[in-house]
């Protein structure tokens, strides 16, 4: 029998259907609330209790530390799949057959050039510009070079737009890094796989043979998969809400990138390494920083700790911690920052403040240590996150458009002045 929620306001009762998801999650469907109550709305800053949509892409259970893409566990995908397969799975709903994957890869390669004039735009940025700002701008600039709008009712147009951005985005991401390092811009090598090519585009030197390294590729592949989607987070919600105005895919993605940049979201991976470095410089006293994080008069937060949804553990952090240890060992790197991270996590996980608030290391806590080991500069960490998240953003945008969702437009409760007469400037 379908469940009903009853709301009582001033003695009047209203009934609302309860929607049940495939994983037995319940949501009160308040679509009719304002209509039946004569304009009563809900207030939920930060949308802590509000579902913005129904979605068939990613399931996560924050209490149990579960994360699945299209029904497949993140642990299994991280171990067995490659990034392009996961991208296809997220966007189109099923793992690709060998033929579908081969076509997807070929179509992406076919689009993996960027208009030469894009270099002029990149040229206009100062070298010191943060790569996330540059990447978001370049993604937006791509619209000018690919001006046709996508007819979302056409499978073919949708597919072409998706393939285009999956192809061009890694080129732009690599360019943001090469620009900072004063390296010539190049277009990579279509004989390589997606992740290998990304690595080559970032690291190849004009005067040195490029060396491939499967360990590095595997580590990158895993990191990209772990970041590929996370249901209705801040950047994904941004992509969906911008897209809901029927702004194009690239414009929606560019907005998502700006949302990701913030230190409370994807920018946390850069903030974590900077924090760990600062603790190291300060003598490595983890207890001091735990005390700072707990002090309500101190704005310091333990970056890489806490999550809006995970209240037990972040399954991505678990996988990444093991990966970080393995990669450092395999590459023969000793990074004192990893010891500081492990020390901080140990103290925090036994501390009443963190236990009570259910604060655990999140995906960003250890990812930066791997990026560092791979030679990726700190300011590129959030770009790496964006590269991973790209298929998730695309999948969510596509789902939103195919479901013909209405434009996102939240309500408010006005708490400003009531009507008052205008006073001329000489009388104020």
- Are the beta carbons of 250 and 414 closer than 8 angstroms? no
- Are the beta carbons of 178 and 184 closer than 8 angstroms? yes
Dist CA 159 CA 110 (whole Å): 13
Print the binding letters for residues 246-265 with ligand ACO: x by CB under 6 A, - otherwise. Answer: ------------------xx
The only residue of 200, 280, 308, 311 in contact with ligand ACO, by rule CB under 6 A: 308
Q: Give backbone dihedrals phi and psi of 231, rounded to 5 degrees, phi first.
A: 40, -135
From the list 146-154, 354-362, 392-400, 408-416, the region that binds ligand ACO by CB under 6 A is 354-362
Q: For the chain, what's the residue count?
A: 428
The only residue of 69, 217, 305, 393 in contact with ligand ACO, by rule CB under 6 A: 305
Residue 392 binds ligand ACO, judged by CB under 6 A: no
Residue 359 binds ligand ACO, judged by CB under 6 A: yes
For 70-212, strand residue ranges (E) read 72-73
Residue 231 binds ligand ACO, judged by CB under 6 A: no
Q: What is the dihedral of CA 416, 422, 423, 428, to 10 degrees?
A: 20
Of 213 and 312, the one with the shorter C-beta distance to ligand ACO is 312
Burial grade of 182 (CB within 10 A; 0-12, 13-18, 19 or more) = exposed
Dist CA 17 CA 239 (whole Å): 28
Of 163 and 340, the one with the shorter C-beta distance to ligand ACO is 340
**Residue 17 in 3-state DSSP?**
strand
The residues pairing with 6 across neighbouring beta strands, listed in sequence order, are: 15
Least CB distance to ligand ACO at residue 267 (A):
8
Least CB distance to ligand ACO at residue 297 (A):
12
Active site residues: 307, 364
Of 67 and 114, the one with the shorter C-beta distance to ligand ACO is 67
Of 118 and 290, the one with the shorter C-beta distance to ligand ACO is 290
The only residue of 81, 174, 228, 303 in contact with ligand ACO, by rule CB under 6 A: 303
From the list 95-103, 299-307, 323-331, 392-400, the region that binds ligand ACO by CB under 6 A is 299-307
Looking only at residues 362 through 381 of this chain, which bind ligand ACO when binding is defined by CB under 6 A?
362-364
Of 85 and 364, the one with the shorter C-beta distance to ligand ACO is 364
Residue 304 binds ligand ACO, judged by CB under 6 A: yes
Residue written as tokens 């277009």?
187
From the list 154-162, 163-171, 324-332, 357-365, the region that binds ligand ACO by CB under 6 A is 357-365
Position of minimal CB gap to ligand ACO: 306
Of 262 and 377, the one with the shorter C-beta distance to ligand ACO is 262
Dist CA 209 CA 223 (whole Å): 26
Least CB distance to ligand ACO at residue 97 (A):
32
Burial grade of 202 (CB within 10 A; 0-12, 13-18, 19 or more) = buried
- Are the beta carbons of 67 and 60 closer than 8 angstroms? yes
Dist CA 62 CA 312 (whole Å): 7
Total site size for ligand ACO, rule CB under 6 A = 19
Closest alpha carbon to 267 in 175, 384, 354: 384
**Site of interaction with ligand ACO (CB under 6 A):** 46, 264-266, 268, 293, 301-308, 357, 359, 362-364
């Amino acid at each position: 029998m379908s469940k009903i929620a009853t709301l009582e306001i001033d003695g009047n009762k209203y009934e609302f259907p309860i929607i049940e998801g495939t994983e037995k999650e319940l949501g009160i469907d308040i679509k009719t609330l304002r209509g039946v109550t004569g304009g009563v709305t809900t207030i939920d800053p930060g949308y802590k209790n509000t579902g913005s949509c129904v979605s068939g892409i990613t399931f996560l259970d924050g209490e149990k530390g579960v994360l699945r893409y299209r029904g497949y566990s993140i642990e299994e995908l991280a171990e067995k799949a490659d990034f392009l397969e996961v991208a296809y799975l997220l966007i189109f709903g099923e793992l690709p057959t060998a033929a579908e994957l081969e076509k997807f890869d070929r179509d992406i390669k076919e689009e993996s050039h960027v208009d030469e004039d894009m270099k002029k735009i990149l040229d206009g940025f100062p070298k010191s510009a943060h790569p996330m700002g540059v990447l978001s701008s370049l993604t937006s600039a791509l619209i000018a070079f690919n001006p046709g709008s996508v007819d979302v009712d056409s499978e073919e147009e949708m597919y072409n737009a998706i393939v285009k951005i999956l192809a061009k985005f890694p080129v732009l991401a690599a360019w943001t890094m090469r620009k900072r390092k004063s390296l010539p811009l190049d277009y990579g090598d279509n004989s390589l796989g997606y992740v290998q090519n990304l690595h080559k585009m970032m690291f190849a030197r004009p005067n040195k043979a490029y060396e491939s390294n499967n360990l590095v590729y595997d580590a990158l592949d895993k990191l990209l998969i772990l970041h590929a989607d996370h249901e209705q987070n801040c950047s994904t919600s941004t992509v969906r809400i911008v897209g809901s105005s029927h702004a194009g895919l690239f414009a929606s993605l560019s907005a998502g990138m700006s949302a990701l940049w913030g230190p409370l979201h994807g920018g946390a991976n850069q903030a974590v390494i900077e924090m760990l470095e600062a603790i190291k410089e300060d003598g490595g006293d983890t207890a001091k920083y735990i005390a700072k994080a707990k002090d309500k008069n101190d704005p310091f937060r333990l970056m890489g700790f806490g999550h809006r949804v995970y209240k037990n553990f972040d399954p991505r952090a678990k996988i990444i911690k093991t990966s970080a240890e393995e990669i450092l060992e395999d590459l023969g790197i000793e990074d004192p920052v990893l010891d500081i991270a492990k020390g901080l996590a140990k103290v925090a996980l036994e501390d009443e403040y963190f236990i009570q608030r259910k604060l655990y290391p999140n995906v960003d806590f250890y990812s930066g240590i791997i990026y560092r080991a791979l030679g990726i500069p700190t300011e590129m960490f959030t770009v790496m996150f964006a590269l991973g998240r790209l298929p998730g953003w695309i999948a969510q945008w596509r789902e939103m458009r195919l479901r013909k969702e209405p434009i996102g437009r939240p309500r408010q409760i006005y708490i400003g002045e009531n009507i008052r007469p205008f006073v001329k400037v000489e009388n104020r």
